[in-house]
Amino acid sequence: MSEHTVTAFDDDLKFITRKVVEMGGHAESMIARAIAALVKGDKALAEAIVAEDLVLDSLQYELDERIIVILAKRQPVATDLREIIGAMRMGNDLERIGDMGKNIARRTKEIDDIVHPRKVVRGLEHLTNLTLEQLKEVLDAYVNKDVQKANEVCDRDDEIDQIYTSLFRELLTYMMEDPRNITFCTHLLFCAKNIERIGDHATNIAETVIYMVTGKSAISTHGTRAE
């Protein structure tokens, strides 16, 4: 896309892209470390992550403020408008992802040092890795305006849902085997649910990217928005 005659408008658009990417990077790192803290039982790290959510919130605030000013001053249309509305939506999704990271970190602080069933923790790590990969891919798709890649992210969400479901069953089994597992497994179940939600947010972002680039709304057949 060529540049605007008014170059300050291009600066505005670059600013919001940069903010979204910055939020994305921050959200990714929060989730990765929240799960690491959970696995290792690192309460100090968990504490730090809870505090970090404020950083993400203030990034979203900066993004929204700039968008409001752009809308008021420039009355964007067509691709510009879609890009700006898209950034606003993505800001929301990324902020929610940060909240999920904060929830997981809070839980880590609650969990007593019980012996973790190793296998379940590995399952959760696997789920997290896949979800983080989705997040990374969708942010790449955003930066490169890559519809193909965004579509692939939407398609892969099923996989995350399936892993979540099997993790759910596994956790139930552990709870039935030994009631002493219930507390820990319930915490883990909520964490898994949080991760699964992050997958949904990644899909939302993918759909936003598709809208931004094509101007058509992508109704995902996965129905993740409805969930």
Partner 1 sequence: MNEMTETATEAAVNAAASNRSVKMRGDKVGVFYGEKQALFDVDLDIYEHEVTALIGPSGCGKSTFLRCLNRMNDTIDGCRVTGKLTLDSENIYDPKIDVVELRARVGMVFQKPNPFPKSIFENIAYGPRIHGLVKSKGDLDEVVAISLQKAGLFEEVKDRLNEPGTGLSGGQQQRLCIARAIAVSPEVILMDEPCSALDPIATAKVEELIDELRENYTIVIVTHSMQQAARVSQRTAMFHLGNLVEVDATDVIFTNPSDPKTQDYITGRYG
As a whole number of angstroms, the distance between CA 173 and CA 42 comes to: 26
Determine if 214 is a binding residue for partner 1 (CB under 8 A). Answer: yes
Determine if 220 is a binding residue for partner 1 (CB under 8 A). Answer: yes
In this structure, are residues 104 and 194 in contact, taking their beta carbons and an 8 Å threshold?
A: yes
Determine if 72 is a binding residue for partner 1 (CB under 8 A). Answer: no
The least CB distance from residue 141 to partner 1, in Å, is 13
Query: Binding residues for partner 1, how many (CB under 8 A)?
Result: 28
Among 215, 223, 225, 227, binds partner 1 (CB under 8 A): 215
Determine if 155 is a binding residue for partner 1 (CB under 8 A). Answer: yes
In this structure, are residues 20 and 94 in contact, taking their beta carbons and an 8 Å threshold?
A: yes
Determine if 118 is a binding residue for partner 1 (CB under 8 A). Answer: no
The amino acid sitting at 197 is R
Determine if 9 is a binding residue for partner 1 (CB under 8 A). Answer: yes
| CA-to-CA dists, residue 141 to 121, 137, 153, 207, angstroms | 30, 6, 9, 11
Determine if 77 is a binding residue for partner 1 (CB under 8 A). Answer: yes
Among 80, 93, 137, 196, binds partner 1 (CB under 8 A): 80
In this structure, are residues 116 and 170 in contact, taking their beta carbons and an 8 Å threshold?
A: no
Pick from 206, 183, 56: nearest CA to 131: 206
Q: Which residues bind partner 1 (CB under 8 A)?
A: 1-6, 9, 75-82, 151, 154-155, 207, 210, 214-221
